[in-house]
């Protein structure tokens, strides 16, 4: 190993990996789900919350700036197996300072915590409203649609409503809505009727906006 280190400096090894990625493209790297999710959140902020002035994280930028986010981490990497174990999320985040990292975390959270306290993953795409799927019963008591895209202490005060995919107790999609208030007051009645006949053991209140969120059947709900 000493011999190898003598032949190739970390700088040389790093340059070799950079050349390889430049030739083969970013697909050569092992992108885990969390790294792809980070990219999607960041790109969503680039598109819909430009006031944050985050670096525009597209493939062109990443390839032409390998020296900034990739090279510092690969000087000691000897093979593709080691390369595949690298945490690309941490490498991408190295492009941001601490404050920007906090803004990203705050404005594009990875999950939505509903009234029951459960964390539901949020999916970001090129659509304006990121999507979250959860049982309809876990949203009782909410009188406004949850939002993302707000950063405390900044000019970004107008949130973007989440696209809620409401699920039945069997986790089947019932309805998509970006306006929970309108849904509770409108088409909920038809859904309630349907749910009562299909899932009689579950709780389908007449006034969901003021009911208590639950993930239990009626028998297990303590008043």
The chain-wide mean pLDDT, for the chain, equals 91
Q: Rounded to whole angstroms, how far apart are CA atoms 84 and 28?
A: 9
> Per residue in 170-179, pLDDT tens?
999 999 999 9
- What is the phi/psi pair of residue 112, to 5°? -110, 130
pLDDT of residue 217: 76
Q: Are 179 and 195 in contact (CB under 8 A)?
A: no
What proportion of the chain, given as a percentage, has pLDDT over 90? 83
CB neighbourhood size of 79 (10 A): 7
Closest CA to 193 of 202, 204, 201: 204
Q: Rounded to whole angstroms, how far apart are CA atoms 21 and 188?
A: 52
How much of the chain is helix, strand and coil, in % rounded to 5?
A: 45, 10, 40
Q: Rounded to whole angstroms, how far apart are CA atoms 160 and 52?
A: 15
Predicted TM-score (pTM) of this structure: 0.88
| Sheet with 173-177, side-by-side order of all strands | 111-113, 119-123, 131-135, 163-167, 173-177
Averages of pLDDT over runs of 10 residues in the chain (223 residues) are 58 95 96 97 95 94 97 94 96 96 95 92 95 96 92 73 96 94 94 94 94 80 53
How far lies 47's CA from each of 103, 115, 121, 145, 217, in Å? Answer: 15, 29, 20, 21, 41
pLDDT of residue 155: 64
């Amino acid at each position: 190993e000493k011999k190898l280190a003598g032949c190739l400096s970390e700088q040389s090894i790093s340059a070799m990996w950079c050349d390889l990625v430049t030739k083969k493209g970013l697909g050569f790297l092992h992108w885990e789900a969390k790294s792809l999710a980070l990219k999607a959140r960041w790109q969503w902020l680039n598109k819909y919350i430009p006031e944050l002035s985050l670096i525009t994280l597209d493939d062109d930028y990443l390839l032409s700036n390998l020296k900034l986010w990739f090279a510092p981490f690969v000087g000691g990497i000897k093979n593709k197996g080691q390369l595949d174990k690298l945490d690309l999320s941490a490498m991408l985040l190295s492009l941001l300072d601490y404050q920007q990292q906090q803004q990203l975390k705050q404005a594009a959270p990875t999950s939505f915590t509903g009234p029951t306290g459960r964390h539901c993953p949020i999916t970001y795409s090129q659509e304006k409203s990121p999507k979250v799927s959860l049982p309809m019963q876990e949203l009782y008591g909410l009188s406004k649609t949850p939002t993302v895209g707000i950063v405390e202490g900044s000019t970004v005060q107008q949130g973007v409503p989440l696209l809620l995919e409401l699920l039945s107790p069997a986790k089947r999609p019932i309805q998509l809505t970006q306006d929970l208030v309108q849904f509770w007051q409108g088409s909920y009645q038809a859904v309630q009727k349907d749910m009562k006949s299909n899932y009689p053991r579950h709780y389908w209140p007449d006034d969901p906006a003021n009911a208590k969120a639950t993930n239990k059947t009626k028998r297990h709900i303590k008043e």
